[in-house]
Amino acid sequence: MKGNPSQLIKAHYGTFVAYPSGDRKKRDFVLFLGTPALVLIGCLALGATLPKGASTALLTTAGILSAFFFGVMLQVAQRAMEWADKPPIPGADTTWQAKFLQEIAANAGYASLVSIVSAGVFVGALIATANWLMVFLSSLGLALAVHLALLVAMVLTRIYALTTDRLIEAQVGGSSGSVTHLRDRKSGTG
């Protein structure tokens, strides 16, 4: 089914692995799922409700972030199509770059999906009339906002790492397929 986001969600959580071992990074799961869960529980316990202005601002922010992350996915798709038209030289670096871009696409796509869901929750918080529903939707919206903020940090950090990797590669010549290795090589420690 084309509208089923489960593959995207699975791909996003599949990026929570340590390299090169491939072990699951439990810390990522705790951070990205545990922190929003604590916010949800805390807000529910406090009976938090968002003022209409805050819900509107968060709705707008979620919409803008959704568009931003969709744009990131489109840029990665454009790169993939360029590679399909003019394939790069196969090798470890190409494999590493392809995997890295695939992971950025998965993270950005998931973040766009969370943005869309968040926007729907904030609309619900805006129109809810029952107090229990306002508390639930406000709490859920705040938890999703925290989750989204963590996702923004993740995607920006990964894009920065890719950019830094390419710039270091351009400065030192050659390529290693590892941001850490290239930084070490540049600083003379590797």
Question: Residues 32-48: pLDDT tens digits?
Answer: 899 999 999 999 999 99
Decide if 9 is inside a domain: no
Decide if 97 is inside a domain: yes
Decide if 85 is inside a domain: yes
Domain span at residue 159 reads 23-183
SS (H, E, C) 34-83: HHHHHHHHHHHHHCCCCCHHHHHHHHHHHHHHHHHHHHHHHHHHHHHHHH
Nearest to 139 by CA among 69, 54, 68: 54
Decide if 128 is inside a domain: yes
Decide if 5 is inside a domain: no
Q: What is the pTM of this model?
A: 0.77
Q: Round to whole Å and give the CA distance between 7 and 16.
A: 15
Counting DSSP H helices and E strands in the chain, the numbers are 7, 0
Q: Round to whole Å and give the CA distance between 100 and 103.
A: 5
Decide if 87 is inside a domain: yes
**Tens-of-pLDDT digits for all 190 residues of the chain?**
577 888 888 888 888 776 656 667 788 888 889 999 999 999 999 999 989 899 899 999 999 999 988 998 898 889 888 887 887 777 777 777 788 888 888 888 999 999 999 999 999 999 988 999 999 999 999 999 999 999 888 888 878 887 887 788 777 765 545 444 433 333 333 3
Looking at the 3D structure of the chain, how many domains does it have? 1
